[in-house]
Amino acid sequence: MSEWIRSRIRIIPDYPKPGILFQDVTTLLKDATGFRKAVDELVQPFAGAGITRVAGIEARGFILGGAVAHQLSVGFVPVRKAGKLPGPTIAERYELEYGADALEIHSDAVQPGDQVLVVDDVLATGGTAGAAIALLRRKQAHVVGGAFLIDLVHLGGNERLTGLGVPVHALASSTNADDPVF
């Protein structure tokens, strides 16, 4: 699966700032067969796991997470950047590899005991996913795992989430900062 995913993702150097190799998954999303296969592979390890909600992280995590929620027949929770949700929210600040930001969910997005799967396109440092996990846990939800298209293992996000007790499932991974594709 890793090479298959890699072949469908465009790398954009120096975006959003110099030194960043941006993993553009829109090339995968526009491929109907590829998109379907990726969603099926993200769902597979969690089918039958009792998940009650999928939390998708803005923005590409919305696309993937919505499709995963549909496949699992569960509700979807948008995890958005600050100021984007209309109702009462809770927020969590976090650090990115290229700055700082905050995420929010609606105050009533999850209930205590909900079994939640966090979905996003890329796991890098784990700051964004870690903030999403913190938000969900503040509402007493149980985060059963994180599902990602790409895990940039050398940036430490996998280790960070695992340290939080959240298993990581990724369709492709890079363990080396010199990897020419990732």
Give the catalytic positions in this structure. 60, 97
d(CA 122, CA 61): 9
d(CA 69, CA 54): 6
C-alpha distances (whole Å) from 137 to each of 48, 92, 121, 130, 166 are: 22, 11, 21, 10, 12
d(CA 149, CA 129): 13
- The strand pairing partners of 142, in sequence order, are 115
Question: Token pair 């900062």 is at which residue?
Answer: 177
- The strand pairing partners of 76, in sequence order, are 54
Cβ atoms of 64 and 122 closer than 8 Å: no
